[in-house]
A and B are shown apart, each in its own frame.
Chain A
Amino acid sequence: MDISVTVNGETRTRSVEARRTLADFLRDDLDLTGTHVGCEHGVCGACTVLVDGRAVRSCLMLAVQAAGREVTTVEGLAPDGALGPLQQAMADSHSFQCGFCTPGFVMQATAFLTDHPDAGEREIREALSGNICRCTGYQSIIDGVLLAAQRSRQA
């Protein structure tokens, strides 16, 4: 099937099989390998992207379901190669180690902070509880999100 998807602000048209996942479409057809595939059954959250501004597991969505919609991946958060405010706060907090779960956390937290700029630690932990990190014990990630929220309130 031919589909057009707006990805990181750019319209991309490709022919895809109906069974192709959005994750594979982004990674293999568009070479946007920042989106990672961690479990392919919607539990780990590594493949999280934004579809029309909402956090979505791209392993559970088909590429054809994204036709005509706006997708944002981790590559699209700070297009000039710099770090966005959340990414900067996470770097400042030593949030991550191996980096594999990272794009999923960044996208999930981006969507959450947009809707809940005043969230506290408990709410942030719950909002990120669908993303698995095996390296950090989460505290540094939570600290990064808290720091980003605090900076945005002061800005």
Chain B
Amino acid sequence: MAQIAAQRYTGASVKRSEDPRILTGGGRYVDDIKLPGMLHAAFVRSPLAHGRVLAVDASAARALTGVVAVYTGADLAEMTIPGQDPLFAMMASGGPAPEYTLLATDKVRFVGDPVAIVVAESRYLAEDGCELVEVDYADLPPVASAATALDAGSPPLFANLDDNIIGPHTRTEYGDVAGTFKNADRVEEFHIDIHRHQNVPMEGRGIVASHDPETGIMTVHAATQSVHVTRLGIAMRLGMDAAKVRVLAGDIGGSFGLKIGASREEIAVAAASRALGRPVKWTEDRGENLAASGHAREESFDVRAAVSEDGDLLGLDVRMVIDIGAYPVMGTMVPGIVQAMMPGPYKMAALGFESTAVATNKASYVAYRGPWASETFVRERILDLLARDLGLDPLEIRLRNVAPRTDPPLMMVTGRPLVGVTTKESLERVAQLIDIPAFRRRQAQAREQGRYLGIGLATFIEGAPGPRSPGGPGEGPMGIEHMRLWLSEDGILTLYTGQMPHGQSHQTTLAQIAADEFGVPFEQVRVVVGDSDAVPFGLTGGSRSATMTGGVALHGARQLKGKVLDAAAQLIEASAADLEIVDGQVQVVGDPDTAIPVGEVARQAAAGRLGDDVGTRLEVQAQFDGGEGGWSGGTHCAIVEVDVETGIVTVERYVAAEDCGALINPAVVEGQIRGGIAQGIGAVLLERSAYDADGNYQSATFMDYLLPTACEIPRFEIEHLETVPTDADVNFRGVGEGGMIVAPPTVVNAIEDALSPFGVRIYEQHLPPARILELIEEANAG
């Protein structure tokens, strides 16, 4: 029988152990690394969306004092192993595999495509060298939109493929799609567009690669969400034994999905270091980051909805086209997740889903916080459009369609059980927090004064980690998470985790859980991350760490405690079953007079005095399969005001009722929720990775790619719902992506509500002031 440990830290907003460093300039980011003899790299990049590379002349650059080497695409092709993006290759998603080189050789395929790398004694000199590299291009017709790419006659980006279809068309049906649509009272059709936008971490990508020719060891300092995925990617493309690549990571200045694995530029830097036998650093500048690091979300949806006159959403039939940009990284994997999540927490009994992924002459599609988020946008937008057509309130149509909690739980029509999902409760809670009838009265009065207020609701669920599926694979909802835990002679409990925090505060939250379960003060727990020679395999992403790593910290601490108590039994002369660890002391239960510090047990073991069964090192290798898992989710509600003269939207109030299970650290949880909502508001009101009709990138500075500031983002009111426990021990659920998933439909729904007197209907996500004014004008002309 598992003993539930006292909860001294877990559940409290413990102050972050990361903060004293980052607040005093003591953070250690990849650009802060300085190694003896280190060189600096910069890239020559394509100014064209689509072109043939006729010649690259690097002679003037090579002759510049301070330039150590210039490697063209052809040079790099000889220095590396050809193949796909490592992440794409590792995910083995199937479908056509375009052939291309690490840096462009025959063709360039987007504005910013790297063509050559210049390595010099300083970054300034490397950039001087880039100016001197002469590249002759011949223009090719750009494939600047998904519509063009779908045309079989569009010029193929890749010579080994006949067209630009990278993810071939597929169709899947769940439930009786034909019958549902045939028998429905109404079938409505919508076309919905999501615009291209991007991660924009405040720190761009970067790497310091240092190859030691004597040992053959490549040491890489990286900004990454996983030191091991980066290690495997570099080894794969450099043709190295993966054991000879060591990846280290310190602090990471945000990522939001961008920094998974090893990008083309990072692999090129590692290859340059190996060729030169010296450390080489590359730090992505903001122009490169905005143009070339990767973009997300450019997707369009043709949707048919089968509904009853009463407002029952009976089924959807969805056709998705995703623009994955030039080089496949993540884009072809997104439609499968969108499909699986399309029903959300609703009862709909039929879903038809088809998708096609196309390549275009734009930056590659990368993961961005909630990569499948479009399903929530499409579904929550359609619910409001249907409600308007049927004369229902947005709250009413959701309450009518949301799956109630039943035993056993209802299944999404795509197959996963809605275990412990509290969407209905979150809708009811939001309706309590915001007095909607009172708002409607205020809205009516404001309209009489020419002011346009609107309210928007949206719900989401997130598999963070998701439930253990009946009949699913033997592994839990998100694979297996590993952790090594060690009690050292000074009494410090050290956790070695493959998580690679980049803002998530794991060094605080994992220590909270382990301190409680093991029985030491929080300050006595150390969390080691960011060294592929020391930490187990892992990845920070997919909102998986709360359950998976929180869970392995809990179970691992329990396992190590058992080992320590067994060892201490020899010292205290009591049965291990009668011992406990309290505040770092092992003692007979309830008897502080018998206490000895945990470090003393470790010292006795290290001295070999506790026998072979204990050994000399108090350490365990723990693993956790996610237990019973569960969903995160909730309802968000925004009240906005739209200035119909300027098109400016102001978010007046924003309320979130969420259930992410048991909170490890409420301040950390709320920080994740607020940050995600801010990105979602930015996506709707400001942010767009814009290309012109010829594929020229238009958003390469922060004057063009606008991010929300403290003046656009309101205070958020966050409520945590009572959780339905699904697991005996581990009920923490991830919260990293929900805000970014649900804020866009919440805000767009509010804007449409504000503009309802004009008859405006919204079928898109990006609504900057100019677009708001157009929508009003179009509706007036309508």
Contacts and interface: CB of A to CB of B under 8 A. Distances in A.
Interface in A87-129: 87, 90-92, 94, 96-103, 106, 124-126, 128-129
Contacts of A98: 201-203, 251-254, 502-503
Contacts of B23: 74, 83, 87, 90-91, 96, 99, 102, 106
B547 to A, nearest CB: 20
Nearest to A97: B503
A135 B15 contact: no
- Interface residues on chain A, size class: 35 or more
Nearest to B283: A37
B616 to A, nearest CB: 36
Contacts of A28: 34
A137 interface: yes
A39 B702 contact: yes
Given A35-B25, A81-B24, A132-B709, A137 B716 contact: yes
B207 to A, nearest CB: 16
A97 to B, nearest CB: 3
B715 interface: yes
A150 interface: no
A136 B669 CA distance: 11
A129 B18 CA distance: 25
Given A74-B24, A91-B19, A130-B709, A100 B678 contact: no
B503 A135 contact: yes
A126 B251 CA distance: 29
B256 A96 contact: no
B677 A137 contact: yes
Nearest to A90: B23
Say what secondary structure dominates the interface of chain B.
loop
B497 to A, nearest CB: 18
A17 interface: yes
B710 A37 contact: no
A30 B18 CA distance: 24
Central interface residue in A73, A90, A102, A137, by most chain B CB within 10 Å: A137
A78 interface: yes
B294 to A, nearest CB: 15
B124 interface: yes
A126 B29 contact: no
A36 B671 contact: no
Contact of A136 (B22, B32, B678, B701): B678
Contacts, number: 167
Nearest to A104: B202
Interface residues of B, number: 52
Contacts of B678: 136-138
B25 A139 contact: no
A40 interface: yes
Contact of A140 (B674, B703, B707): B674
B27 interface: yes
B710 A96 contact: no
A149 interface: no
A77 interface: yes
Interface string A34-61: 1111111101101000000000000000
A137 B674 contact: yes
A5 interface: no
A33 B254 CA distance: 17
The secondary structure that dominates the A interface is loop
Given A43-B701, A130-B709, A135 B25 contact: no
B667 interface: yes
Contacts of A96: 19, 22-23
A142 B285 CA distance: 28
Contacts of B29: 33, 36, 100
Given A34-B24, A94-B671, A132 B716 contact: no
B632 interface: no
Nearest to A141: B710
A134 interface: yes
Contact of A78 (B24, B252, B709): B24
A73 B503 CA distance: 22
B336 interface: no
Contacts of B677: 137
Nearest to A140: B671
A87 B26 CA distance: 13
Interface string B698-736: 000111000101110101100000000000000000000
Interface in B563-615: none
Q: Which of A39, A83, A126 has the most CB of B within 10 A?
A: A39
Contacts of B13: 94
Contacts of A128: 709-710
B202 A97 contact: no
A133 interface: yes
A36 B203 contact: yes
B713 A99 contact: no
Contact of B504 (A32, A91, A97, A140): A97
Contacts of B286: 38-41, 44
A27 B29 CA distance: 12
A2 interface: no
Interface string A63-96: 0000000000111011001010001001110101
A134 B254 contact: yes
A61 B19 CA distance: 29
A22 to B, nearest CB: 14
B201 A91 contact: no
A129 B234 CA distance: 39
B520 interface: no
A33 B281 CA distance: 15
Contacts of A74: 23-25
Going nearest first, the 3 A-B pairs with the smallest beta carbon separation are A34-B25, A100-B253, A99-B22
12 contacts: A31-B34, A34-B24, A91-B20, A94-B15, A97-B675, A98-B201, A99-B18, A101-B202, A102-B22, A102-B27, A138-B713, A142-B710
Given A96-B23, A141-B710, 4 more contacts: A91-B20, A99-B251, A100-B253, A132-B702
Interface of B: 13, 15-16, 18-29, 31-32, 34, 124, 200-203, 251-254, 256, 285-286, 502-505, 667-668, 671, 674-675, 677-679, 701-703, 707, 709-711, 713, 715-716
